Structure 1
Amino acid sequence: MKAISVLGAALTLMALPASVAAQTRSAATCLTEREGESVLLYLAPDLLAQTNRICAPILPANAYLRRSGATLGQRYAGVSAEAWPAARTAIAKIAGPDVAPLLDSAFAAPAVASLVAPLVAAEITASDCPRLDRILSLMAPLPPRNVAGLAVAFLQLAGDRDRKAGRRPALPICEVQPR
């Protein structure tokens, strides 16, 4: 759960000037499930590459990341490019009107990913690597969109707990309304 919380915090604060950070944490602004999925799909190749960079060297030779980590990242690359337009809109939504125009630049897409992935990776410890290796090996057969949907569902659970405890969620995914 720590890595998910870090991801949420990183997404919320990425590439933002300090004066805008408080604005992004507004309780009134949240991402729909689809918007959250788009952000995660967009960032996936860079997040996977960072995880692989940190964990593969310290895992045993038969670990999933050592055998297939790069291949998994490549699977997400095509979906990532497709997800950028929706991810850009979602990021602009939580970043606010001062940041939104910056996301229209041709340099925004690579800049966002290159800023967020290292922030998340900085929170990965060697003791996290065996669990991350197992999680990635379990999710590998699933379609990327299903993985993003599951990740958003877990972020919603964490967000619900944060709200009940009086804390703001790390990534502002809108609360699920009962059907």
Structure 2
Amino acid sequence: MLRSVAFAIAMTPCAAMAAQPVCITKAEATSLISYALPQAINGTAKRCAPSLPANSFLRTQGTALANRYAAQKGQYWVKAKPAFMKAMSAQNDGSSNMMAGLPDETLRQLADVFVEGFVSQRIATKSCKQLDLAIDLLSPLPPENTAGLIALTLDAAGSADPKLGKISLCKD
């Protein structure tokens, strides 16, 4: 279950972009996840709202949680950016070169739009109840703790199934 959350929420910003396997450090993964959490929560809420009851966590408190996490996300960008750029470079289509030349604020906006849109399109609605519960359970944590748990889950899942995605955590 947490593996679903990890995959759907954490790695979506990069997994879809990577054509070849790429390795990011645990610190980069944690920063990228921390940075992307507000958009991932918003995208999950948009996708799942029609299939969740009116009193579900995402429908009643999802926006507040995303806003709370968004208030801190700027501090994660410096370490999140290298992970985002690694994923872009794995595409081998020149997009990373184009993106490397963009102003930082523009690159952040592109990452934000991508994460929210990708999540809202890719989550299987049959997993919405589980995702709602997982996000509710994780909601008391600060973003870095939530991101750390997701990165840990990805690391464990990657050890069990190295083909979890095109993005993997670098082995120490």
| Normalised-by-shorter TM-score class | 0.7 to 0.9
Q: Which residue of 1 aligns with 2:64?
A: 71
Q: Is the 8 A contact 2:43 2:118 kept in 1?
A: no
> For the residues of structure 2 that align with 1:54 and 1:94, how far apart are their CA atoms?
24
Match of 1:162 in 2: 161
Contact 2:52 2:128 in 1 (8 A): yes
Q: Residues 94 and 162 (structure 1 numbering): CA distance in 2 closer, same or farther, change over 3 Å?
A: same
Alignment identity in percent? Answer: 29
Structure with greater Cα Rg: 1
**Secondary structure, in 3 states, of the residue corresponding to 1:60?**
coil
Taking CA–CA contacts closer than 8 Å with sequence separation of 6 or more, which of the two structures ends up with the larger relative contact order?
Answer: 2
Q: TM-score, normalised by structure 2?
A: 0.81
CA contact (8 A) 1:93 1:100 kept: no
Q: How does 1:95-174 map to 2 (within 5 A)?
A: 95-96=88-89, 99=96, 102-103=99-100, 104-105=102-103, 106-163=105-162, 167=163, 169-174=165-170
* Structure 2 unmatched ranges of 5 or more: none
| Equivalences, count | 163
Residue number among 21, 25, 33 corresponding to 1:25 in the alignment: 21
Instruction: Output the CA distance in 2 between the equivalents of 1:142 and 1:127.
Output: 25
1:9-48 Cα distance to aligned partner (Å, 9 max, x none): 541343xxxxxx44x424xxx2111100111111111111
1:148 is displaced (CA, Å) by: 0.2
Aligned to 1:12: 15
AA matched with 1:33: K
Q: Distance in 2 between matches of 1:78 and 1:100?
A: 30
Q: Following the alignment from structure 1 to structure 2, what is the Cα–Cα distance between the partners of residues 35 and 75?
A: 21
Residue 33 of structure 2 corresponds to 40
Q: Contact 1:38/1:83 (CA < 8 Å) preserved in 2?
A: yes
2:43 touches 2:115 (CA, 8 Å); kept in 1? no
Compared CA separation, residues 12 and 124, structure 1 to 2 (3 A) = closer
Deviation at 1:132, TM superposition (A): 0.9
* Alpha carbons of structure 1 residues 38 and 121: separation in structure 2 relative to 1, 3 Å: same
TM-score (ref. length: structure 1): 0.79
2:141 partner SS? coil
